[in-house]
Amino acid sequence: MTVSYHKKTIADVPVDGRRVLVRVDFNVPMDPAGQITDDRRIRETLPTIRYLIDHGARVILVSHLGRPGGRPDPKYSLRPVAERLQQLLGQPVTFVPEAVGPVAEAAVQRLQPGEVALLENVRFYPGEEKNDTGFAEQLAKLAELYVDDAFGAAHRAHASTVGVARFLPAVSGFLMEKELRMLGDALEAPRRPLVAIIGGAKISTKIDVLKNLLPRVDALLVGGGMANTFLKAKGYEIGRSLVENDRLTEAHDIIAQAGSKLMLPIDVVVAAEPRSDALPVVVPVERVPPDEMILDIGPKTVDAFAQVISTAGTVIWNGPLGMAELPPFAEGTLGVARALAKSSATTIVGGGDLVGVLEQLGMADQMTHVSTGGGASLEFLEGKILPGVAALEDK
């Protein structure tokens, strides 16, 4: 990696009495009534916020929520997040209805040491996603120190993730530090054997991950819709399953390079349609009926994967292993999650879909580390430089 992931943190710089602008990732799911349905991303930033409070900083939080398209939209207001954060912290959180300008500046000036304010959604401004210098400067004007604790947004070169760091000393928060350490060590200095489990629908979205991981891992276990493309490349009949015919050559190349490292499903769960009332049937991979779809890995595959996991030192898992959002096709993902929970390996799980499924199944807290970054953790595993990380000062 050409960019160090060993970054200065808030523990390396004086924060007492200073106005500290903290980029957090409060992009949390909400129901139509505006109630937060999963507050993990808020909870994960609490160590950073509490440290700053305890050390007398004046804490100014900035985040995005959803995709409002560069203009105010009440549906994407961070006000409900301020209320939830207030409950979690057990102290008042001032909600500021602007992110920059006189209203924001006045609110920040009123902050006393140990007090917290949350600015309105930074994506209400077109300058955010354009990484506009003027907008970044307006944000920077609010503070004396910039802290990035938003690993989930670190792959975006936006004003609040990269631009501000040009105007203020920039260090990482504790969540960012933990994400970089867990993922960085897994890639650069893992406890071996290193096992990667890659799922999800499409090989096209994971091809760079596979290529970056292949020389590093001791075993590569593939499931989910993307496994179908590999199975077809090996000459198996896959019926009406999702497949990327334009990626068969790449799948072929990976099979050849990987040799015995690569494990594909040996049995699969099929059905006529991906529906929650479908009747799933388990078949060996060589016997997929022509009018059925592969929608999960089968029990023999789960056992084979579990066997590999049981001897692992480190496991990186990205993407579900079937259509796990539908109960009949969640068994493969659940079975592998149980194997990870039982194992003594360092287990690192990422990818929004997978994390959501594990939360639903009640398994997320049994992993060593659940990454808060969907796209960011994927790009990190691809070996890409994350702009939000590159912008921070090295240790």
DSSP assigned state of 111: P
Q: Give a yes or no: residue 356 inside a domain.
A: yes
The residue from 43, 50, 166, 202 that is catalytic is 202
Q: Which two tokens stand for residue 223?
A: 């499931």
- Domain-terminating residue out of 175, 206, 232: 175
Does residue 125 sit in the same domain as residue 212? no
- Domain-terminating residue out of 175, 210, 225: 175
Q: Which two tokens stand for residue 193?
A: 């054997």
Q: What is the pLDDT of residues 296-354, one digit of tens each?
A: 999 999 999 999 999 999 999 999 999 998 999 999 999 999 999 999 999 999 876 88
Q: Which two tokens stand for residue 286?
A: 């060589």
pLDDT at 1: 43
Does residue 168 sit in the same domain as residue 261? no
Cβ 175 vs Cβ 45: under 8 Å: yes
Does residue 164 sit in the same domain as residue 195? no
Neighbours of 266 (CB within 10 A): 15
Share of the chain above pLDDT 70, in %: 99
Q: Give a yes or no: residue 267 inside a domain.
A: yes
Q: Is 202 a catalytic residue?
A: yes
How many CA atoms does the CB half-sphere of 216 hold within 13 Å?
22
Number of domains in the chain: 2
Q: Give a yes or no: residue 361 inside a domain.
A: yes
pLDDT at 373: 83
Q: Which two tokens stand for residue 370?
A: 């659940």
Does residue 270 sit in the same domain as residue 299? yes
CA–CA gap between residue 192 and residue 189 (Å, rounded): 9
Does residue 78 sit in the same domain as residue 211? no
Q: What is the pLDDT of residues 165-213, one digit of tens each?
A: 999 999 999 999 999 999 999 999 999 999 999 999 888 888 899 999 9
pLDDT at 204: 87
* Identity of residue 68: P
Task: Indicate which CATH number applies to the domain containing 87.
Answer: 3.40.50.1260
DSSP assigned state of 380: H
Q: What is the pLDDT of residues 1-37, one digit of tens each?
A: 446 778 999 999 999 999 999 999 999 999 988 899 9
The residue from 70, 184, 375, 383 that is catalytic is 375
Task: Name which residue leads in pLDDT, 48 or 32.
Answer: 48
The residue from 17, 56, 313, 352 that is catalytic is 352
Q: Give a yes or no: residue 389 inside a domain.
A: no
Does residue 170 sit in the same domain as residue 215? no
Candidates 243, 214, 218; CA nearest to 228 is 243
Does residue 206 sit in the same domain as residue 331? yes
Could you tell me which residues come within 8 angstroms of residue 221 by beta carbon, excluding any fewer than 6 positions away? 195, 196, 197, 198, 263, 305, 308
Q: Give a yes or no: residue 388 inside a domain.
A: no
Does residue 199 sit in the same domain as residue 252? yes
Q: Is 352 a catalytic residue?
A: yes
Q: Rounded mean pLDDT of 147-151?
A: 97
The residue from 7, 18, 41, 232 that is catalytic is 41
Q: Give a yes or no: residue 395 inside a domain.
A: no
Does residue 23 sit in the same domain as residue 152? yes
Cβ 262 vs Cβ 304: under 8 Å: no
- Domain-terminating residue out of 117, 143, 175: 175
Strand order in the sheet with 314-318: 262-263, 219-222, 194-198, 314-318, 346-350, 369-370
What SS3 state is found at 31?
coil
Please give the residue range of the domain that contains residue 209. 183-381
Q: Give a yes or no: residue 5 inside a domain.
A: no
Q: Which two tokens stand for residue 326?
A: 């539908």
Does residue 278 sit in the same domain as residue 129? no
Q: Rounded mean pLDDT of 46-73?
A: 97
145 has a pLDDT exceeding 80: yes
Does residue 111 sit in the same domain as residue 69? yes
Q: Is 375 a catalytic residue?
A: yes
78 has a pLDDT exceeding 80: yes
CA–CA gap between residue 389 and residue 176 (Å, rounded): 9
Following DSSP, what letter does each residue of 52-94 receive, concatenated?
HHHTT-EEEEE---S---SS--GGG-SHHHHHHHHHHHTS-EE
Cβ 98 vs Cβ 120: under 8 Å: yes
Does residue 243 sit in the same domain as residue 106? no
Candidates 160, 130, 218, 216; CA nearest to 22 is 160
